[in-house]
Chain A
Amino acid sequence: MSQFPDQFLMQKIEPGEVIQRLQNLPTLSAVVVDLLNCIDQDDIDISTLATKVSHDQALTARTLRFANSSFFGSQSKVTTIHQAISLLGMQSVRHLITASALAGHFPDGQCKGFDSHAFWRHSIATAVCCKVIAMHMHLNQDYAFTAGLLHDIGRLVLVSCFPEQYAAAIAYRVSQDCHILEAERVVLGTDHVITGQALAAHWNFSEIIQKAIGGHHLPDTFGHASIASVVHVANSIVQALDLAESADDMVAPVSKIAWDGLAISESDYLKIFRETEMQFEAVSQALSA
């Protein structure tokens, strides 16, 4: 690198520091941990889940607001968590609770240049796109959705634990017009894949989600047609479709092994693009209602 302005020096993060800061993050509520760890259980008991959600005031409020939003067009007002789960479906409730619990977990506005609106649009769009691809490939759609939602969570760790250093990485990205991953590695000496994996291990996310977070920029190590490959390709699709509404977004390079592993035809991809845009519009309208 020929130019390396002073503002980007001395921003390196030691590996030990990440682990130490993670210990200081508040722990996830028991409900969220439960939800993340039982994604593949279709027979989870509604009453048990409803009771757990009801113990968390903030989650209860968000779930009811979602159920009463225009997305579901319900004629009568939903007033209990049990009703909300019956109306929305178990999977939607899990996704919603996970997304909103995580969003509420990381303080906003402390890192200069970090656009949290674009971050969440990208995360939700990737989740939707992963689900659509999984449907086409007959893979587990809920794993895919959750993995897509969480794939960039390491960025939130960096934003909340190292706001000043991360602001320098963002400034570097802007000045060089490069990918954020490259900027993180140059300026911080670490990246959101490493911190995301550390967080996923710290919070005991299931192995499949840990692999998807760890492999979303390097899916080749995790085999063909894995969830990591789906997340990797979905990440680039969502950037190419411009769904984050971020003016300086840039499509990340696509691994040929992951791309070939999915073996999706052009006409199917066009359907996936259309479906992703439609579903994303519906979900984001509902979440902002």
Chain B
Amino acid sequence: MLKRHLQIILANATAGMTLSDAILDTKGNLLLPEDTQLTDAILESLRRHQIETIAVAGAEISETENNIERQQRLLRVEELFRSSDMTSETTVQELRATETLHQYVKNFRAGIPS
């Protein structure tokens, strides 16, 4: 089973949730490690540190479900990039820059759970 991450704003976080990612302050210092279970006191402290959003662990999903989701995300990327050849103004050079962006977004979507 895999962990699913949810990015939520601090005001929607409640005690009992578990951090799926470490929280750093603006200088990069560790405030809370991964897997910390949130309490009211911790939430208050995060508010004082002006943390706006945090990543918490969501429901677990199976590897198969995760693969299906990844495939769907990648199909959507292909759909969004469907026109990279069309307008007469599109030069070969533009195609290269657009194709590089396309590749980066594919890597991004393939690499991280939603």
Contact = CB atoms under 8 A, between A and B. Distances in A.
Interface of A: 70-73, 75, 177-179, 182, 233, 236-237, 239-242, 249-251, 253-260, 266, 269-270, 273-274, 277-279, 281-282, 285-286
A253 B90 contact: yes
A278 B10 CA distance: 12
A240 B105 contact: yes
A149 B100 CA distance: 25
Interface in B79-95: 80-84, 86-87, 89-91, 93-95
Interface string B8-27: 01111000000000000000
B98 A71 contact: no
A164 B97 CA distance: 36
Nearest to A249: B80
A71 B100 CA distance: 35
A115 B100 CA distance: 29
A251 B93 CA distance: 16
Contact of A240 (B10, B52, B86, B101): B101
B101 A250 contact: no
A242 B11 contact: no
B101 A237 contact: yes
B15 to A, nearest CB: 14
B6 to A, nearest CB: 10
B98 to A, nearest CB: 5
A179 B90 CA distance: 12
Contacts of B95: 253
Interface of B: 7, 9-12, 47, 52-53, 76-77, 80-84, 86-87, 89-91, 93-98, 100-102, 104-105, 107-108, 111-112
Given A240-B102, A266-B107, A270-B107, A256 B97 contact: yes
Which residue, A253, A255, A259, A285, has most C-beta atoms of chain B within 10 A? A253
B90 to A, nearest CB: 5
A278 B21 CA distance: 13
A239 B84 CA distance: 13
A39 B107 CA distance: 36
Given A70-B9, A70-B11, A242-B76, 14 more contacts: A71-B11, A71-B52, A178-B87, A233-B101, A239-B80, A251-B83, A253-B87, A253-B89, A253-B97, A254-B100, A256-B94, A259-B97, A270-B104, A278-B7
Contacts of A253: 84, 87, 89-90, 94-95, 97-98
A251 B80 contact: yes
A182 B94 CA distance: 16
Contacts of B81: 240, 251
Nearest to B47: A73
A243 B84 CA distance: 19
A236 B101 contact: yes
Nearest to B55: A278
Contacts of B83: 177-179, 250-251
A251 B97 CA distance: 12
A281 B7 contact: yes
Contact of A178 (B7, B86, B91, B97): B86
6 contacts: A182-B86, A251-B84, A253-B84, A254-B94, A266-B107, A282-B52
